[in-house]
Amino acid sequence: MPLASPLPSPMALNRPQQSPSIFKKRSASGLGSGSPLPSSAASYLSALSQADARARSVSPTSTPALSLSSSVTSSSEDTILHEEEEDALMNSNADGLLLPTRPPNSAQVFSTVHTEFGHCANDKYRTTSQHKLGTPLPTHVEQDPPYYILLSTYVSYLILICLGHVRDFVGKRLSPSSYQHLMPQHGYAPLNSDFDSFYTRRLKTRMDECFSQPVTGVAGRTIMLLDRTSPDYNHTQLFTGTRTRALNISSYNYLGFAQARGGCADAVEESIKRYGISSLGARLEGGGTDLHNMGEALVANFTGMEDALICSMGFATNSTIIPALVSKGCLVISDELNHASIRFGTRISGASVRMFKHNNMKSLESLLKEVISQGQPKTHRPWKKILVVVEGLYSMEGTLVNLPGVLELKKKYKFYLFVDEAHSIGAIGPRGRGVADYFGVNPRSIDILMGTFTKSFGAAGGYIAGSKTIIDHLRVNGHSGAYAESMTPSVLTQVVASMASIMGVAPPDVPSKEIVHPGPVASASLPQWINLPLNLASGEEGTSRLRRLAFNCRYLHSGLIKLGFITYGHPASPIVPLLLFNPGKMNMFHKMMKQRQTPIVVVVVAYPATPLVTSRVRFCVSAAHTKEDIDTVLRACDEIGDVLDLKHGSVRGKDRWNVEQVIARAAELGSNDD
Amino acid sequence: MDGAPESLIPVLSFLEGPLSTALTTFNKIPGSAVILRYVKSSHQNDPGRTILELLLLIFAIRTLLQSRTRADRNGSHYIQFSEKEVDELVEEWTPEPLAAPLTPAEQSDLAAVPIIAGPNGPRPKLVSTGKTATNLASFNFSGLSSNEHIKQRAVEILRKYGLGSCGPPGFYGTLDVHMDLENDIADFLGTEAAILYSQGFSTVSSVIPAFSKRGDIIVADRAVNFAIQKGIEISRSTVRWYDHNDLGSLEEVLISIEKDRKRRRGPLTRRFIITEGIFSKDGAMVDLPKLIELKLKYKYRLILDETYSFGSVGRTGRGLTELYNVPASKVDMILGSCAVGLNSCGGFCAGSQIVVDHQRINGPSFVFSASMPALLAVSASEGINIIRNTPSIFECLQTNVHAARAILDKLDCILIPSHPVSPVIHIYVRTTDPVPPSSAKFNLTFASPKDTLRLNEFDVEERLLQEVVEDCLAQGVILTRAKRLKGQEMVEPKPSIRLALSSALTKKETEKAVSVLRNSLVKTFGRRR
């Protein structure tokens, strides 16, 4: 299906010229960010990595970019390549983003656009995401870096803080006008106090180019960056007008359903034509349609619960539903690393809150013993109810909840269990049904399952699933039912279509009563007008995506460990954090990844999202990535890791592999056998 | 006497080794000499100071080592139990059920919620009857929901961007179309900048805590909507309430705060007035010019929630600022909903560049939530384009509002608290002797949650109004009672039927539908008398 207005080819805009010298100032080339380099050492490192990249690259031919652009675009839309164009295309495909590095043979037909969802036919690169029954969950070991790294990290922050205060002190005297918004003026207190904004002004601004990068197009396997530059040390960002296509290992697109083409997008188009844009109002006030009811039934079916409720925003699902579950006199026991939305929700609920150490069952048990025996503070009355809130997959650590452990405790201590599956639903488990599926436990042994559609389903919003009594209670008492806008039909359709693709659709002659969880969805429970293509409806594509994701997760995770990096999290987790520690390295890592032959965009996170020392880069693996893409990321990490001195993992000596070994033994690393 | 020191000799010699190594390593540390010199000289000058510094050091170490859990085990309320007692207590404890089953009233209420088959709009089809009905319940002020051009643009954008953005705005979730919509909103309203949130309802409860912290002062209307209440609650600021839509009462509160501050000589803190443009609880409208006068006089910042006035009043739907011809820059923060006003999804906060930039880092539901799907952002942009160029939409809407009010105002059995131009019309049951709506006092229409007598009265009214709603539905007019969370609101508003008029209906259709409502009202309340 041709685009109405095809995107201009990224290659044409990206690299207008190859500068002859690597040290030549790249002022208007549109490469990477182009902002002034922070220091001479940094520019040297950057140039070093650039030179590395150039040396590795296919001979840098000056491609007649404009003349080629149309053919590139059109063929990337096509499902099968034309043989004769291949050579020309391979030249311009030096970054490996537009076309597969390994051309498909005649037997392989890909229905996806390679830039959105990578073509990967090799069945070796597949794994099942499943917990081995009877084996204990690998405990989360926080590896410590060498002391000099820790020390230099603390010193870095100390220098940053001291410098910041010195600049504030001098700045307030020399140029008071730039501090005006932090001072009381005309009898108004400043909106932002000097103290509160210190971190933002003096630390975050230095690495602002890593954050809020505007993009365009589909957040699929690759993403199109709108290049920007800052003339004044990140106080303002200006667009250069150029674009760069980069490998996207940052979006929460776990199953690769962020697509502008394909069965789901077709269904969404049909829904826009049939239902329009909006459903006009709150669910209880005339904003509910038959599509909402179908969507909720499907979510209940998918999660294996009795009933479900859909909310139009993921953050709001937690922040508006938790207050309807607990109130004054109740206790919420929350993992210390729980998401902000859970904290927001518990804070407005009026319930008491206690925290336990991250995923630590001993800490949870001793806390439970204490709170149940002590009762409410001061009065010692027994708690009305205790709600333990955990996340299925923690978004900053990549750790999986110890669900069997929690359920064991639940039997003894009679608390209610709320599992936030924002990241794990769709991404974890042999059938993508989340952590319960992964650990092979009955989902109904959990009281409330919450999740979002933003991540694996490529949509927006969230859901709550549970027993019919609970969900009905929440329909009436949750804030969103009466006051918040209901989910729009287009988003709902994306949810329904992608969810049905993961589950597979049962043939119409199978009565819906015979289908048991976790089975396919009865075709009668989908809207009649959604016609999924055969590969999606059979569930084949969904299974393949789940298995590709599982492989990619394990491969990247074990690959990084074998290369000697310190990573966190469970090997089955699509979130792979790689520890950087020093704040200065965050900026450098981000920049060096973006300026490579194949630009890679990464998310770097630091304090306050993480503890002060453990700044990290967070990879979000997707089923859309091919094995070659993960190779690219590993190669990049390997080189940059050497330059930035990041390889401090506990894997040493003979156990440590070089990058070629890692890539050659990918199938072994990515399997679920270790 | 000599024996004791002698017996200590091996101990001393044993200690000497490590002590000397410690001393040499200490000397090896660069700068150790300086520290040593400093300690020596300070001790020489003032031995008391050494003791004080030592105590400080011990205190610092103790503070660092102390556990940071909130309820400490050594507190005076902590009871020591033996292991066995704990087990018994755990065994004994039985929690309440997580959620109580619905009451029969709630059940029938939930079952009576109309469900639309297919597209929602001015004349949707109902699942229950399979027939079309006139819709006076859904928010479709400008009638953008059925606009073919917007649908077409949405499909184009779908084919370019896919659906979801798959990331929060900070991490590759900021699309060019989001920035375009932000610029469009700012340009439309006439503010410096605007910021998008992905749900209208969550916008204000995120904006308030982003600015107002503990110790800051919030002055708010007593009948503000639920989202504002929650935002105020989570901000932990000092809050003072003034009587609903009574600017005289507001001024009294402002004066008393000023007096208080002068008396206490407290530091200058951030101060905010928070109110709504058209109140979601009763459709009343705030007198914006007067409010701005007060805010400027007493130096407060104004947070104005225009959820129901943006895209519904003013010549081109710009909201209260256009209606009263006040520059938008005079209002510090204008909040609106793209879901209600532009028939898309999400909400926004418009204001100065500083106000907007601050939220990009501090607004919880902006930072921690995925950004809005691209096609919905573009739909909103197109919506703005259409309403700014088509003033006839709002003329038509006003015609409908006048027509509806002309019919309803004549009725004796009801009371309408809504402003005459508001397209959101609330209908109360008139219980006491007829009082002109202008002098309707706060306590007439709102009850404290503890006032069981009034609440019982409200229950009766609610059931009667629900009868009217269902009667009208049977006659092909979709209506809704204003749904509220009972027991969770700060004040319980009087039950009402909420109409949302639309320019997508003609004057005749509106009149016909409202007449159905009038007849039903007369029938129900006539029978009662």
Same domain, A239 and A270: no
Average pLDDT over residues A372-393: 93
Q: What is the pLDDT of residues B57-115, one digit of tens each?
A: 898 888 887 755 555 555 677 888 888 988 999 898 999 999 999 999 899 989 999 99
Same domain, A403 and A521: yes
Q: Which of residues 258-277 of A touch B (CB under 8 A)?
A: 258-261, 264-265, 268-269, 272-277
Distance from CA of B310 to the nearest CA of A (A): 15
Which long-range contacts (C-beta less than 8 Å, at least 24 apart) are formed by B325-330? B326/B288, B326/B289, B326/B292, B327/B190, B328/B189, B328/B190, B328/B191, B329/B190, B329/B191, B329/B192, B330/B292, B330/B296, B330/B302
Distance from CA of B148 to the nearest CA of A (A): 8
- What is the distance of C-alpha B74 from the center of its chain? 39
Cα distances from A276 to residues A31, A483, A529, A573, B443, in angstroms, run 41, 21, 15, 37, 42
Average pLDDT over residues A394-403: 93
Residue A240 domain-assigned (yes or no): yes
Same domain, A55 and A189: yes
Question: Model confidence at A38, in pLDDT bands (50, 70, 90)?
Answer: very low
Cα Dmax for chain A:
82
**Positions of CATH 3.40.640.10 in chain B:** 147-389
User: Where among A519, A537, A555 does a domain terminate?
Assistant: A537
Q: What is the pLDDT of residues B289-342, one digit of tens each?
A: 999 999 999 999 999 999 999 999 999 999 999 999 999 999 999 999 999 999
Above 90 in pLDDT, residue A494?
Answer: yes
Same domain, A268 and A188: no
Closest partner CB to A289 (pick from B120, B201, B271): B120
Q: What is the pLDDT of residues A442-460, one digit of tens each?
A: 999 999 999 999 999 999 9
Question: Model confidence at B355, in pLDDT bands (50, 70, 90)?
Answer: very high
Q: What is the pLDDT of residue A75?
A: 39
Question: Model confidence at B436, in pLDDT bands (50, 70, 90)?
Answer: very low
Of the CA atoms within 13 Å of residue A50, those in its CB half-sphere come to: 21
Closest partner CB to B373 (pick from A368, A377, A491): A491
Residue A490 domain-assigned (yes or no): yes
Question: Model confidence at A56, in pLDDT bands (50, 70, 90)?
Answer: low
**Residue B328, φ and ψ in degrees, nearest 5:** -65, -25
Same domain, A234 and A381: no
**B140 close to B121: Cβ distance less than 8 angstroms:** yes
Q: What is the pLDDT of residue B451?
A: 79
% of residues, chain B, pLDDT over 90: 67
% of residues, chain B, pLDDT over 70: 93
Q: What is the pLDDT of residues B123-135, one digit of tens each?
A: 999 998 899 999 9
Tell me which residue of A322, A335, A331, A303 sits closest to A402, measured CA to CA. A335
Q: Is A385 on the interface with B (CB under 8 A)?
A: yes
Distance from CA of B526 to the nearest CA of A (A): 27
Same domain, A441 and A532: yes
**Positions of CATH 3.90.1150.10 in chain B:** 104-144+392-528
Q: What is the pLDDT of residues A180-214, one digit of tens each?
A: 888 888 889 888 888 888 888 888 888 898 999 99
User: Where among A537, A562, A592 does a domain terminate?
Assistant: A537
The total of structural domains in chain A comes to: 2
**B406 close to B154: Cβ distance less than 8 angstroms:** no
Same domain, A465 and A563: no
CB pairs under 8 A between A and B: 380
Residue A116 domain-assigned (yes or no): no
The full DSSP string for A539-576 is SHHHHHHHHHHHHHHHHHHHHHHHHT--B-S-TT-SEE
Question: Model confidence at B203, in pLDDT bands (50, 70, 90)?
Answer: very high
Same domain, A201 and A321: no
* Nearest Cα residue in chain B from A273: B151
Q: What is the pLDDT of residues A76-112, one digit of tens each?
A: 444 333 433 444 444 467 777 888 877 777 777 788 8
* Nearest Cα residue in chain B from A259: B162
CATH of the domain at A212: 3.90.1150.10
* Nearest Cα residue in chain A from B156: A4
Average pLDDT over residues B488-505: 91
Which residues of B are less than 8 Å from A292 in CB distance? 115
Tell me which residue of B269, B264, B266 sits closest to B239, measured CA to CA. B269
Beta strands A215-216 and B271-276 are unpaired
Q: What is the pLDDT of residue A548?
A: 94
Our CA angle for B236, B238, B242, nearest 5°, is 125
Q: Which of A70-79, A330-339, A365-374, A533-542 has the lowest mean pLDDT?
A: A70-79
Above 60 in pLDDT, residue A171?
Answer: yes
Q: What is the pLDDT of residues A416-441, one digit of tens each?
A: 999 999 999 999 999 999 999 999 99
Residue A70 domain-assigned (yes or no): no
Q: What is the pLDDT of residues A621-634, one digit of tens each?
A: 999 999 999 999 99
**A379 close to A335: Cβ distance less than 8 angstroms:** no
Closest partner CB to B202 (pick from A4, A315, A413): A315
Which residues of B are less than 8 Å from A611 in CB distance? none
Above 90 in pLDDT, residue A578?
Answer: yes
Q: What is the ipTM of this complex?
A: 0.86
Q: Which residues contact A309 (CB under 8 A, 6 or more apart)?
A: A296, A321, A463, A464, A465, A471, A474, A475, A478, A481
Q: What is the pLDDT of residue A415?
A: 95
Average pLDDT over residues B505-529: 88
CB atoms within 10 A of CB A581: 24
The answer, yes or no, to whether the previous bond of A36 is cis (omega within 30 of 0) is: no
Q: What is the pLDDT of residue B72?
A: 54
Token pair in block for residue B461: 């009214």
**A438 close to A429: Cβ distance less than 8 angstroms:** yes
Above 50 in pLDDT, residue A73?
Answer: no
Same domain, A453 and A345: yes
Which residues of A are less than 8 Å from B369 in CB distance? 313-316, 341
Which residues of B are less than 8 Å from A187 in CB distance? 268, 299
> A393 has which bridge partners?
A400
- The Cα–Cα gap between B53 and B464 comes to 76
Token pair in block for residue A306: 């009795």
Q: What is the pLDDT of residue B20?
A: 84
Which residues of A are less than 8 Å from B484 in CB distance? 482
Q: Is A335 on the interface with B (CB under 8 A)?
A: no
Same domain, A529 and A570: no
Residue A107 domain-assigned (yes or no): no
Closest partner CB to A469 (pick from B90, B101, B155): B101
Q: Could you tell me the sign of the dihedral formed by the alpha carbons of A552, A555, A558, A562, in that order?
A: negative
Above 90 in pLDDT, residue B5?
Answer: no
Q: Which of A301-315, A544-558, B43-57 has the lowest mean pLDDT?
A: B43-57
Same domain, A589 and A498: no
Q: Does A272 sit within 8 Å of B151, measured CB to CB?
A: yes
Backbone torsion region of residue A69, taken as left when φ is above 0, otherwise alpha when ψ lies between -120 and 50, otherwise beta: alpha
CATH of the domain at A269: 3.40.640.10
SS3 call for A612: coil
- The Cα–Cα gap between A303 and A605 comes to 31
The full DSSP string for B208-251 is HHHH--TT-EEEEETT--HHHHHHHHHHT-EEEEE-TT-HHHHH
Tell me which residue of A426, A419, A394 sits closest to A404, measured CA to CA. A419
Q: What is the pLDDT of residue A4?
A: 44
Q: What is the pLDDT of residues B135-169, one digit of tens each?
A: 999 999 999 988 999 999 999 999 999 999 999 99
Residue A671 domain-assigned (yes or no): yes
Q: Which CATH architecture has domain B147-389?
A: 3-Layer(aba) Sandwich (3.40)
% of residues, chain A, pLDDT over 70: 86
Residue A633 domain-assigned (yes or no): yes
Q: What is the pLDDT of residue B31?
A: 77
Token pair in block for residue B105: 């009233």
Distance from CA of A518 to the nearest CA of B (A): 26
B157-188 per-residue burial string, b: 16 or more CB within 10 A, e: under 16: bbbbbbbbbbbbbbbbbbbbbbbebbebbbeb
Mean pLDDT of chain B: 89
Fold of B104-144+392-528: Aspartate Aminotransferase, domain 1 (3.90.1150)
Q: What is the pLDDT of residue A335?
A: 94
Same domain, A327 and A412: yes
Q: Which domain holds residue A660?
A: 22-61+126-248+542-674
Question: Model confidence at A24, in pLDDT bands (50, 70, 90)?
Answer: very low
Which residues of B are less than 8 Å from A354 in CB distance? 69-71
